[in-house]
Amino acid sequence: MNILREEITQILQVHCSRSLLNKTNATRWLLLIKILFLLLPICATAQDTIVTFTPSMANKKGYIALGHMNGWIFKKGNNASWASNNIDYSDWQKLMPANFTEKLADSDGKLEGWLRLKFTLDTSFGDTLLEMLPYTWAATDVYVDGRLMYNFGNSGANGKPFQEYNPTDKFPVRFALETGKVHLLAIHFVDFRSSLPPFRLKSADQFTFNYFVLITLPRFEDYYLKEYTSNQISRTVWLIINITLCLLFWVLAFQNRDEKNLRAIALTSTFFTLTIYCDQSGVPVISYAYFAFLRLVWAMLLPVSFIFSLLLMIRIFKRKINTALKISLWAIGLCGIAQAFFPLVLIFIISLALFLSIYYISVSWKSLKGAQWAVQVGILLLMSFGLALVTTALVAPDANYSVFLWIFTGVSLSFPLSLLVYVAMRFKEIIGEVSDHAKQVVRLSEEKREQALNQQKILQEEVNRQTIELRTSLENLQSTQAQLIQSEKMASLGELTAGIAHEIQNPLNFVNNFSEVNRELITEMNNEMERGNFDEAKAISKDIQENEEKIISHGKRADGIVKGMLMHSRTSTGQKELTDINALADEYLRLSYHGLRAKDKSFNAKFETHFDNTIGKINIVPQDLGRVLLNLVNNAFYAVSEKKQQLDAAYQPTVSVSTKKLKDGVEIKVKDNGNGIPQKVMNKIFQPFFTTKPTGAGTGLGLSLSYDIIKAHGGEIKVQTHDNEGAEFIIHLPA
């Protein structure tokens, strides 16, 4: 370059000196041609191209993309001196970043090189604050006028390990330079070929090298933040709606397994939702590997979504799956795999899916009805929004981002919402079908109504007669029920009375016996006094006095028994009293035993008591709880008596009553060693009128009334039994 400049200078000096001597036009033109000829190599050198940035070069989003601008020169390798102005760049090549391909990478897939661009900022920028934003996965070192300004990632030039740059969700950095002056932008970058298909350079995979470097204006950050926020909110809304619909469809599919279309809808909705999620345009990218994985999954899910959508449409439209359709679906699936390696195959997939959709819509148009139209409209809306998206991207790529979001919203929600409408309409149709079936049944009933009218009078008379019989039966039943309850009460009263009589009989016998003895002793004493034998008379009077004390003692005993029985047998007031539960249980055990003995002199049984003396008095209704104990003990004695009649003398009938103090109350157990209660009737024993006794031997109300009394006390009664081993009733009363 310097040699050329010197040659041009010499030529100019020579020709200028000659022109002073001979000022002809021919000489002047010849001089101009030679100068231009010598200047051609210099003009053809890219580094001498100076790009002038002006505010008008920025798009409406507020950035200038440098990746596709002329003026860049490129050289592979790395040399820190390449950042300076004064270097020999004759072996550099003119190559803008937008034209980078994976062919430039070495055998290991690495591309390392330098880019240089001379530029100037137009003075019209004034005091405008400019910023720089790299949109590349490559690690870059940015130099301006030979000075390192920024490191994006780590290229390894500083001796540290390589670290790729993550350009997603990054804001620009300051780029303050003097306007009107030529500056040199030198970029050292290191990029790698992707290990996942389509095996392109990482920076060419997501953003392309068109956006290798952006120069941004102040309005860019506001636009970028608004765009980012709108994108995240929109994607969140799309995902929430699709996930909600997907879950709803699966719930409906499990709840209505006979409706097989619901399962197909749920599967289609699932793949559609996963496809939307794996669309990496809105997913926060953690790393390039995550981005490439999502893109690969998306490439696989998209044709699957197309296949399931087509099968669902064909199923709902009630069309047959022919050989041509099977081949087409297989083609979409195989091309979906190929798309991961050759992205342009996506055009064929979309075209084939679009053709099949249009075909089945056209052949099914006239036969569609009801809910099928919802799917029809959803498919048409999906195709319309898809075409609108492609058209907008081709015709107006710089359109307001909100336009793209609205179109994406249509693509993401039109089909799933149409499936929701289909499901709602389908359920309405099912209800309508049920209603039509019901109307048909009503019509058939109406046809037979005339026949029914002929028999109506007869039936009415029969109904009236049966109604009278039912009323009579009900009255008899109520009367019988009342009699049974009264019989149960009287039976209990009779048993209680027999027990009381037996208890009173013992002291009365003593009173009667000692009274007769005293009468004889008085006669004898009078005789002795007449004889003057006063010592013998005194001895007799002393015997009379002792007998009188015994008479008084047994009389008081009888009086106590009567008062106690009157207290426990009187009508219950429902008022709880502090009662000695041990004394109450012992008293009713003995009353029950003596009552049964009064009825059957041959009856004999052993009874035991195991009382916890730490219980003290508890708050109960003694009359009611006495009835419960009496009923349970009577049943226990009845059970052992029955078993005694069946077995020989080796069997010892035994009934035991025990009490125990618990943390939360008191436990009362009534146990016998009779035949027990069959397991098949265990759930019925507390039901009214249910009894295991022979007809006429019991009303079946005893345990039912006992159950109600214990529940009224806030307690619990249960039974444990084993066949031929007796039964044990357990009462739990709260403290």
Among 8-17, 83-92, 343-352, the least confident range: 8-17
Q: How far apart are CA 247 and CA 253, in angstroms?
A: 10
Tokens representing residue 563 in the block: 């008062």
pLDDT tens-place string over residues 348-384:
878 888 888 888 888 888 888 888 888 888 888 888 8
pLDDT tens-place string over residues 280-323:
555 567 777 788 788 888 888 888 888 888 888 888 888 888 88
**Of 337 and 72, the one with more pLDDT:** 72
Residue 696 is predicted with a pLDDT of 52
**Contact yes or no for 659/621 (Cβ under 8 A):** no
Residue 8 is predicted with a pLDDT of 42
Q: How far apart are CA 317 and CA 312, in angstroms?
A: 8
CA 731-732-734 angle, to 5 degrees, is 145
Q: How far apart are CA 340 and CA 578, in angstroms?
A: 88
Highest mean pLDDT among 68-72, 370-374, 405-409, 698-702: 68-72
Q: What is the secondary structure of 390-407 as a DSSP string?
A: HHHHHH-TTS-HHHHHHH
pLDDT tens-place string over residues 638-654:
888 888 888 877 788 88
Alpha helices in 179-287 (DSSP H): 202-205, 218-255, 260-278
Q: Which amino acid is at 319?
A: R
Query: Which pLDDT band holds residue 229 (cuts at 50, 70, 90)?
Result: confident
Please determine, for residue 450, whether its predicted confidence score (pLDDT) is greater than 90.
no
Angle between helices 534-569 and 622-646 (to 10 degrees): 100
SS (H, E, C) 608-645: EEECCCCCCEEEECHHHHHHHHHHHHHHHHHHHHHHHH
**Of 63 and 735, the one with more pLDDT:** 63
Tokens 């109300």 — which residue?
701
Highest mean pLDDT among 84-88, 241-245, 499-503: 241-245
Q: What percent of the chain has pLDDT over 90?
A: 8
Q: What residues form DSSP beta bridges with 718?
A: 730
Among 221-235, 305-319, 487-501, 657-671, the least confident range: 487-501
Query: Which pLDDT band holds residue 553 (cuts at 50, 70, 90)?
Result: confident
pLDDT tens-place string over residues 571-619:
555 688 888 888 888 888 888 888 777 777 777 888 889 998 888 888 8
Among 6-10, 173-177, 665-669, the least confident range: 6-10
Taking phi first (over 0 means left), then psi (-120 to 50 degrees means alpha), and beta for anything else, what does residue 304 get? alpha
Highest mean pLDDT among 481-495, 544-558, 597-611: 597-611
Residue 670 is predicted with a pLDDT of 92
Q: How far apart are CA 153 and CA 143, in angstroms?
A: 14
* Dihedrals phi, psi of 162, to nearest 5 degrees: -65, 140
Residue 23 is predicted with a pLDDT of 39
HSE of 232 in the Cβ direction (CA atoms, 13 Å)? 8
Query: Which pLDDT band holds residue 136 (cuts at 50, 70, 90)?
Result: confident
What is the pairing mode between strands 214-216 and 131-133? antiparallel
Alpha helices in 532-603 (DSSP H): 534-569, 581-599
Please determine, for residue 126, whether its predicted confidence score (pLDDT) is greater than 90.
no
Residue 656 is predicted with a pLDDT of 92
Tokens representing residue 528 in the block: 């002795």
**Of 717 and 199, the one with more pLDDT:** 717
